[in-house]
Amino acid sequence: MVANKAVVYRKPGVVEVEDIGFPDLVLRDGPGVNPLNVGRKCEHGVILKVVTTNICGSDQHMVRGRTTAPSGLVLGHEITGEVIEVGRDVEFIKKGDLVSVPFNIACGRCRNCKQQDTHICENVNPDRPGSAYGYVDMGGWVGGQSEYVMVPYADFQLLKFPDKDQALEKILDLTMLSDIFPTGYHGAVSAGVKTGSTVYVAGAGPVGLAAAHSAQLLGASVVIVGDLIEERLAQARSFGCETVNLRTHPNLEEQIEQILGVPEVDCAIDAVGFEASGHGDGAGEAPATVLNSIMGVTRAGGRLGIPGLYVTGDPGAEDKDAQEGTLKIRFGLGFAKAHTFVTGQTPVMRYHRDLMQAILSGRAQIAKAVNATVISLEEAPAGYKEFDGGVAKKFVIDPHGALR
């Protein structure tokens, strides 16, 4: 039996690399697998040899103990790989294809999938619409921070790279197509970014940096990125963004006015989510901070893209309301300013082919923007700790040493 090492969540702050067994085309029982999904046959699926798989900020929420993720959950929803086995019902994807895997799992058959709302597929998660690999309460599909992984609904979901050699040359960019590039782009599109827009992006983590680069691709005149960590802000400046440090200068409106001459922007993007911090030195966690601040600085009639993750259950929150995902949001302000809010998972398949073309043509430089940094599978636990400390890197796991 071929070994299959993977990154496994054990307890808050602890991930380990373990052998989870070689996958097959059945969703078997295991940590986090919904009982109604156990034994689900996936002859419409494939087995991938994972070429790259990335650590995501969403994974960190689980690893910090801020969700109800069970011990033993195999992590990882950002997957790029080579097809090594195809199911009986797979018609168009072939062995040897190099493919990007959308992080949201989608059947292609339900009403939502047919409307391109693949982030809320009705058939893959018995609890509620929407699913993802290696994520709590998402149906239990096994994560892809591993050497091999099973991917269902292959013909519908997988994005095949047209030229394998060309793709391998740009693999650090193309690995971002499974999640953060489409997620950042969705945040910018949802915020209504267009030629000439002024844009504020809250958060200079990988998704925030991807959103900032996406806003540039969409024609924004000025992109301002806010964060509490100077190293991350320096990364944003490295590809032409303006920045505001909300630890040393907590008044966001004043800082925006210093840059633009007015204390507001056309569009704003929340790339932080529910573990947001208050502004200022020594400020504690305040989960509604980003949502309230972007309402404050976005012009009347503007749009707010919210790809930052918010959850219905946060056992690590400081008060009962926040533990249930109930936040003290100034919704009256948003109403008064006639804001449009767009939330939820990103429908990756709506964007990934176009973004692939932007990468292959050299138009998009997403790996540079997010500072893609390659590590081995064995280095993943250390990568999680470093990422949790706020380092300005996007860790790309290379399970088979192919990139090194």
Calculate mean pLDDT across residues 352-374: 98
Tokens of 115: 């409307």
For the chain, where do the domains classified as CATH 3.90.180.10 start and end? 5-179+347-398
Calculate mean pLDDT across residues 389-402: 96
DSSP, res 178: G
Residue 313 predicted with pLDDT over 90: no
Closest by CA position to 399, among listed 48, 53, 20: 53
Q: Per residue in 65-87, pLDDT tens? A: 999 999 999 999 999 999 999 99
Calculate mean pLDDT across residues 176-205: 98
In a 3-state reduction of DSSP, which class is residue 314?
A: coil
For the chain, where do the domains classified as CATH 3.40.50.720 start and end? 180-342
pLDDT score at 282: 87
User: pLDDT tier at 1 (50, 70, 90 boundaries)?
Assistant: low
Please provide the CATH number assigned to the domain covering 5-179+347-398.
3.90.180.10
Q: How far apart are CA 342 and CA 303, in angstroms?
A: 8
Average pLDDT, the chain: 96
Q: Per residue in 259-306, pLDDT tens? A: 999 999 999 999 999 989 999 998 888 889 999 999 999 999 999 999
Calculate mean pLDDT across residues 191-211: 98
Q: What percent of the chain has pLDDT over 70?
A: 100
Q: How far apart are CA 7 and CA 400, in angstroms?
A: 14
Calculate mean pLDDT across residues 233-237: 98
pLDDT score at 318: 81
E strands, 192-324, in order: 198-202, 222-227, 242-245, 265-270, 298-305
Beta strand 242-245 with 298-305 is: unpaired
Q: How far apart are CA 82 and CA 49, in angstroms?
A: 5
pTM (two decimals): 0.96
- The alpha carbon torsion through 101, 25, 122, 92 (nearest 10 deg) reads 60
Query: What are the residue ranges of helices labelled H in 311-388?
Result: 320-323, 331-336, 352-360, 366-370, 380-388
Calculate mean pLDDT across residues 376-399: 96
- 3-state SS, 30-83, equals CCCCCHHHCCEECCCCEEEEEEEEECCHHHHHHHCCCCCCCCCCECCCCEEEEE
Q: What percent of the chain has pLDDT over 90?
A: 93
Closest by CA position to 250, among listed 286, 223, 275, 215: 286
Q: Count Cα neighbours of 213 within 13 Å in the Cβ-side half-sphere.
A: 30
Q: How far apart are CA 66 and CA 274, in angstroms?
A: 10
Element (H, E) at 181: helix 180-190
Please provide the CATH number assigned to the domain covering 180-342.
3.40.50.720
Residue 404 predicted with pLDDT over 80: no
